[in-house]
Amino acid sequence: MFQLDRQPRKPLASVSLDLDNEWSYLKTHGDATWSSFPSYLDVVVPRVLDFLSQRNLRITFFIVGQDAVLEGNIAALRSIADAGHEIGNHSFHHEPWLQRYSDEAIECEIALAEEHIERATGVRPVGFRGPGFSFSPTVLQTLCRRGYRYDASTFPTFIGPLARAYYFMKSKLPRAELRRRSALFGVLADGLRPNKSYRWQLDGGELLEIPVTTMPGLRLPIHVSYLVYLSMFSRSLARLYFRIALALCRLTRTQPSLLLHPLDFLGCEDNKTLAFFPGMNVPRETKLAVVSDAIDMLATSHEIVTVREHAAVALSSARQVPVPTARKYQSSHNVHAHIRQAGTTTP
């Protein structure tokens, strides 16, 4: 498959950033202004790259294909690859109901994102994360068939339905669009999924899964956006919470895979449009302090690598897991026409 090019001195932990752009948050929220594709990549990407460079870290950036189409984003996206970070596929349209697409539409969504991401960065992705942690048997089969090395879409927590309820309460969406998003952020049973890496058994092969790590045992989120939320009550509380999570990871021999988002690096003074999103009333300096706390704490106890490097080490010990039944993921609406027009989605 592929190998880590060095012998790790400490337990491994991967770090990734889902490069969700401003328009994708507006789209999921139901704000019509998303269609002009407002972007903050020219601000957030240099800020993140500088943060990582100061710590000599390489991580994985999951990029949305639609952003790779737009000329104004190309320089920012290319700079990520030029800095030596891994480039992953985060779908083309960034629609968290990807699991409801038809088989044909899923194939087109992933392939189209691949094409434009490679054109913008010079790198063909070998890892995938579904928007909003969306995945399905068809998505997994498609990734395996297209030669992907790993998927990183599962989020083994019980609080997905609670997050969805909060999101719906804050959204501007009509009832039909709420139904479309009925599986947003997953279901209660997701908390029973493995928290360690495993291999999906698929027709014609296997696909390694690197879950977004949650707190072992309690299955509470530990990604940095959640730490930012906790810091609104107490930064000390956020640090203690993450320290406990890392201790439980060591106790259970769980190699963490920590998730970042662009909004972890943007404060209330950087963007007013996304004020509806949790944590976007927090100043930039406070957020960056929380991010620094988490990454520096993680780097003290673990060797931080890309998700691809994480997968290289995890493969040999990952147990096999059967793919879930396809019945619950069947498409409830037809998106073929929407996907076929994807190449023309420019402002």
Q: What does residue 326 show for φ and ψ, rounded to 5 degrees?
A: -75, -15
Residue 340, CA distances (Å) to 64, 92, 100, 345 in order:
17, 12, 16, 10
Residues 6+ apart with CB under 8 A from 237: 230, 231
Please report, for the chain, the start and end positions of each structural domain, with discontinuous segments joined by +: 12-322
Q: Which is nearest to 99 in space by CA: 176, 185, 16?
A: 185
In the chain, DSSP finds a helix count (H) and a strand count (E) of: 13, 10
Could you give the CA distance from residue 123 to residue 137 in angstroms, rounded to a whole number?
26
- Region 318-344: what's the mean pLDDT? 57
Q: How wide is the angle at C-alpha 191 spanned by C-alphas 148 and 113, nearest 5°? A: 25
Helix ranges restricted to H, the chain? 22-29, 41-54, 65-69, 74-82, 103-121, 137-145, 160-170, 175-180, 224-231, 235-252, 284-301, 307-314, 336-340
Q: Is the pLDDT of residue 339 over 50?
A: no
Residues 6+ apart with CB under 8 A from 215: 221, 222, 244, 245, 248
- Region 29-35: what's the mean pLDDT? 91
Q: If one looks up domain 12-322 in CATH, what number appears?
A: 3.20.20.370
Please report which confidence band the pLDDT of residue 5 belongs to, taking 50, 70 and 90 as the band edges: low
Q: What does residue 262 show for φ and ψ, rounded to 5 degrees?
A: -55, -35
pLDDT at 298: 98
Give tens-digit pLDDT for 75-127: 999 999 999 999 999 999 999 889 989 999 999 999 999 999 999 999 999 99
pLDDT at 6: 59
Could you give the CA distance from residue 229 to residue 235 in angstroms, rounded to a whole number?
9
Q: What does residue 208 show for φ and ψ, rounded to 5 degrees?
A: -75, 135
- Region 22-46: what's the mean pLDDT? 95
- Region 259-273: what's the mean pLDDT? 97
Residue 229 near residue 282, CB atoms below 8 Å: no
Token readout for 53 is 């460079």
pLDDT at 65: 98
pLDDT at 104: 97
pLDDT at 335: 43
Give tens-digit pLDDT for 218-235: 999 999 999 999 999 999
Residue 182 near residue 100, CB atoms below 8 Å: no
Please report which confidence band the pLDDT of residue 3 belongs to, taking 50, 70 and 90 as the band edges: low
Residue 68, CA distances (Å) to 62, 63, 91, 317, 346 in order:
12, 8, 11, 35, 11
Residues 6+ apart with CB under 8 A from 272: none
- Look at residue 303 and give its three-state secondary structure: strand
Percentages helix, strand, coil for the chain, rounded to the nearest 5?
50, 10, 40
Question: Which DSSP helix (H) or strand (E) runs through 61?
Answer: strand 60-63
**pLDDT, averaged across the chain:** 90
Could you give the CA distance from residue 140 to residue 312 in angstroms, rounded to a whole number?
19
Give tens-digit pLDDT for 283-316: 999 999 999 999 999 999 999 999 999 999 999 8
Q: Is the pLDDT of residue 318 over 80?
A: yes
pLDDT at 162: 81
Give tens-digit pLDDT for 142-178: 999 999 999 999 999 998 888 788 778 777 778 887 8
- On the CB side of 91, CA atoms within 13 Å amount to 26
Residue 274 near residue 28, CB atoms below 8 Å: no
Could you give the CA distance from residue 207 to residue 150 in angstroms, rounded to a whole number?
6
Q: Model pTM? A: 0.92
Could you give the CA distance from residue 59 to residue 322 in angstroms, rounded to a whole number?
29
